[in-house]
Amino acid sequence: MRLRAEDLRLPAPAVIGRVVECLERVGSTQDVVRERARLGAPEGYAVFAEAQTAGRGRLGRSWVSPPGRGLWFSVLLRPGFGGDRLPALTLAAGVALARACRRAAGVAPELKWPNDLLWRGRKLGGILAELVTEPSGNPSVVLGVGLNVDLDRGLLPPELRDRVASLAEAAGAPVDRTALARHALGQLDEAYRLMRQSGFAALREEWKGLAAFLGRPVRISGPDGSWSGTALDVDADGALLVAVPGGVRRVLAGEVSLRSAALPFEPFGTDTDNMLYDRAIIPRRVW
Ligand code: BTN
């Protein structure tokens, strides 16, 4: 069933989801919310699309968003802090979305720093936090969420089929997108208001309890190249702490993939940032 704004709107004191717009097909809900922000939309404004033709993920990659097969939405936030706390916001959103998946579908995803939801090591969803400067000069954040609900993996290129998961598959039953969207907005709102009040510290232990890679050997690909270590912890700002010979490195941006200590190569399927790929590889209208 199509998502309807009247089923999703949340009453005060909710911030996220107090205004909801449901659209049929857009380029990217990120851009729709940016435009609404430019026109003065209130904080918490949420835009859902049945399909996106130019959905995007982190690092400029594409996000496949076929009609009715997932939750593709973005929310406008004015958290009153800048880029240095975006990782914490992304992590807090991960905790909220994991809760929503448990409540709406009985599926317990793991979280991979900074923005992935995984099921059995496969990508179930992702979060994209983008900073925008409004005409007032104030920074705001467009928080985008993609959750695969019932993706037809048969339509994906063979090399990706084993790297992507859907909630319905994980649940072994159909998943009601309206219920999932309501839980997602409700949990995001709760986490966001808690974070504004008390910072990420209030959600840190829950995040760690869901973390996929803590205590394991990882490879980091970041602004300063690719290097290895052991993922130790996340700090109160949401930075990943990685043990390396001689100390601990603090990571605020980059990609994490699991390294097997025993193998000199990356075993298939461990680099889980796989829902995202270049348009060059996959035809745009694969669905
Ligand atoms: C990632 O894993 O890199 C983040 C993926 C975020 C995808 C969502 S779908 C709704 C919103 N609109 C977009 O274009 N991207 C985000």
State the pLDDT at residue 260. 62
Calculate how far, in angstroms, residue 261's C-alpha sits from the geometric centre of ligand 1: 31
The answer to whether 213 touches 231, Cβ cutoff 8 Å, is yes
For range 167-178, the mean pLDDT: 97
Q: Pick the residue with more confidence: 197 or 82?
A: 197
- Which amino acid belongs to residue 126? G
Calculate how far, in angstroms, residue 199's C-alpha sits from the geometric centre of ligand 1: 24
State the pLDDT at residue 160. 73
State the pLDDT at residue 274. 28
Euclidean distance between CA atoms 211 and 216, whole angstroms: 11
Calculate how far, in angstroms, residue 262's C-alpha sits from the geometric centre of ligand 1: 34
| Spatial CB neighbours of 273, under 8 Å, sequence gap ≥ 6 | 58, 116, 123, 255, 257
Give me the residues paired with residue 63 across strands: 276
pLDDT at residue 100 greater than cutoff 60? yes
What pTM was computed for the model? 0.90
pLDDT at residue 203 greater than cutoff 80? yes
pLDDT at residue 50 greater than cutoff 50? yes
Tokens 């995007």 belong to residue: 56
Nearest CA to ligand 1 atom 3: 57
For range 84-96, the mean pLDDT: 92
Pocket test for ligand 1, best of 145, 177, 274, 276 (most atoms within 8 A of CB): 145
Q: For strand 240-244 and strand 247-251, is the pairing parallel, antiparallel, or unpaired?
A: antiparallel
State the pLDDT at residue 153. 81
pLDDT at residue 265 greater than cutoff 60? no
pLDDT at residue 276 greater than cutoff 50? no
Calculate how far, in angstroms, residue 246's C-alpha sits from the geometric centre of ligand 1: 37
